[in-house]
Every structure is written in structure tokens, then in C-alpha cells.
Amino acid sequence: MAGIKSLAKDTAIYGLSSIIGRFLNWCLVPLYTQMFPADEYGVVTYVYSAVALALIVLTYGMETGFFRFANHERYKDPLEVYSTALISLGVSSTVFVAMILSFIGPVSDALHAGSHHDYIVMMTVAVALDAFTALPFSYLRYAKRPLRFASLRLVNIAVNIGLNLFFILICPWLWECAPGWIAWFYDPDFGIGYIFLANLVSSVMNVVLLVPELKGFRWRFNPALWREMLAYSAPLLVLGVAGIMNQTLGTLLMPWLYADNAEGITAVGIYGANYKIAIVMGMIDVQMAGVIRSYVPDREAPLATVHMKDSIYWAESADYMPILDKVLPSPENALRGAGKYFGAKVYANFVPHWEKETRWYFTGMGSRWKEASVYAGRTACA
């Protein structure tokens, strides 16, 4: 019972921190639409749609891959898995930044930012940092530290929202009343650039706050492990891209449907604001931990003991609640799905496998394992 209570508490902390964060960011939409014209907010909407896709590509399923191989029977040191994945994400994120900066002009035009290359530079660095820090956040979940996970998330959101309010509300007022106070750093013509600047600062803050998770272990890279992680994560990348395109493809294509680019980006601003205000989001996060033991008749000691720890996560969005109810499993069905997933992972440790349809082999080749499989076969026949 204590384990179930702990599981429920951790799940609530993870889920509520994400929901609260998204709700607070959602609250910024009325501020943006009040302070900026539709065409400028259209640039913000378009750039963030591209950023959402870039973040999926830059993490390429490594978060889930880390959970898989940190619990893998062939890799006894989770920190080696963590270090290998960190180095992989660090290198790929650095290459991404270098590539975007090398083609900053064409990329800026493609994202409808025009001559505002600084917008794209800031968001490029921000999304690269977010991709890199995705793994330390996953490590906090693996290490069962929900309070630190949630507090860092909420601090990041508070910094982002606080800077938005400062630059978009307070600074314009100070510019009218006492411009000398802020003239050394504030430019009223920078406009929506302050939205991107706030995002960049909060992303840098994430890296600073996560420094304890980036030290205290030996950094090392295991090429064989890395290749296995990439192979395991590749299908997740495909699914992730498909999922995010389902949400952002309309935004990314909309400007190209208009003969006038300015009219198209204005439509994106109007569409993006209405979409964000109307969307309903739901998340279910199930954390699982347990000990499974196998017994055979006439033996008091267990034949084998397997310790399991894993998680399964659902996140969906819809335009209104009835649709969300159809695409997001109920809590009961989520628990059933988690139980099936948990059982499917553990059963292979207790029964023989069929490999290449040529022979039986056993997870353990000792006589007790063979005795257990024979007993299971006789029981099944009976």
C-alpha cells in the first residue's frame, strides 16, 4: 500500500507540474494578442511551430531510449547509459546550431522572420539547449526525484513568464514614464523579439539549474550502446514527428496557401491564437515498480526474483473535451495498459523463448530454470 501511495504521489507531481506550466503559458496568449498585431504574432506562432518539430528531431527518442537501457540487463551501470545519451544529444545539438547559423538568411526567410535574424538565432540556441536538458529531466524521473523535477520546471516557467511580463508590460510603461531607467538595455522596436529572448534566458537558466545532474559521474561514450539506443529510438522519432506534424502542419503550410505572404502570416497569427485558446490538453503518467518472484513446488526459496521499474506516458490534445475523451485512455484503461506492458516485459524472465524457430533456450541455463519450465509445461497441459 505504501508503494502505491508513493507511486500516486509521484505521478501527481509529474503530471500537475506539466499541466500547471502549460496553463500558465496559455495565459500569455491574451497578452500577446493585445500587445502585438496579428502579423507579428503570426511570426511567433510560425517560429514556435517549427521549434516544436525541431525539438522532436533533436531529442530523437533518446529520453525513452535512456529509460529502456538504464534498466537493461546487459548494461549494469545506468550512468554509462546516461553519459552516452548526454554526449550524443550534446554533439547533435551543437551541430544543429552550427548548421542553422551557417544558413541563417535562408532559414530566417523560410520561417517568415525576414531580416530579423536575431529571432532565429535566439530560438535556435534555445531549442538546442532544451533538447540537451531533456535528458537530465528524464534522469530525475529515473532517479525518482519528482519534487526537484517539478520545481525546476516551475522555476523555468516562472522565469519565462516573468520576463515576458517585464519586457512586454512593464518596460513600455517605464519607457513612457522614465525612459532613462531602461534606455541602456530596452529597445521598444524589438517587439516580439522579447518573447524569444525570454525563452532563451529560461533555457539557459535550465542548464544552470541542472548542473548538479551534469556532474558527479565519469563522462564516457559507449559506441555499441549508442548504436543500440539509436536503433531502439528510431521508431519513436518517426512516431514523434508524425504526432507533432498532426498539430503543427496546418500552421506550417498556411502561409503558402496565400498569394500575399503578409496576408498569410497574418492568418497564421489569428489561427494560432484561437487554436491555443481553444485547445484542451490531457496527460496520464503511470510510474511502475515491483518485485516479481517465481516459485516451484516443494521449494520455499524463490526460483528467481526480478526487480522491475518503468513508466508509460500518454499526452493528447483536442479541440474540445469529447474528442479528448476518445483519444486519451481513461485512468482505468491506462492502468490496464500499464499492467499488460509490465507483464509483457517481465514474463520472458520466467519462461523459455523460441528463437529462430529452431530450438528452445532458457533465460538461465541452471537446472532450476529447466525444472520451472517443465513444471509450467505440465501445468499448462493439465
Report the run of H or E that residue 159 belongs to, with start and end: helix 146-165
Q: Which tens digits make up the pLDDT trace of 318-358? A: 655 556 666 677 777 777 777 777 776 666 666 554 443 33
CB 141 within 8 A of CB 219: no
How far apart CA 136 and CA 125 sit, in angstroms, is: 18
- Nearest CA to 68 out of 153, 138, 137 is that of 138
Whole-model pTM?
0.71
- Which residue, among 57, 56, 65, 58, has the nearest Cα to 230 in the 3D structure? 65
3-state class of 220 per DSSP? coil
Task: Decide if 200 contacts 122 (C-beta within 8 A).
Answer: yes
Structure-derived torsion over alpha carbons of residues 60, 61, 62, 63, reported in degrees to the nearest 10: 130
pLDDT tens per residue, range 251-290: 888 888 888 888 889 999 888 887 777 665 566 666 666 6
Burial profile 195-221: b = 16 or more Cβ within 10 angstroms, e = fewer: bbbbbbbbbebbeebbeebbeeeeeee
Predicted local confidence at residue 51, as pLDDT: 93
Cβ atoms of 352 and 361 within 8 Å: the answer is yes
Residue 37: pLDDT above 70?
Answer: yes
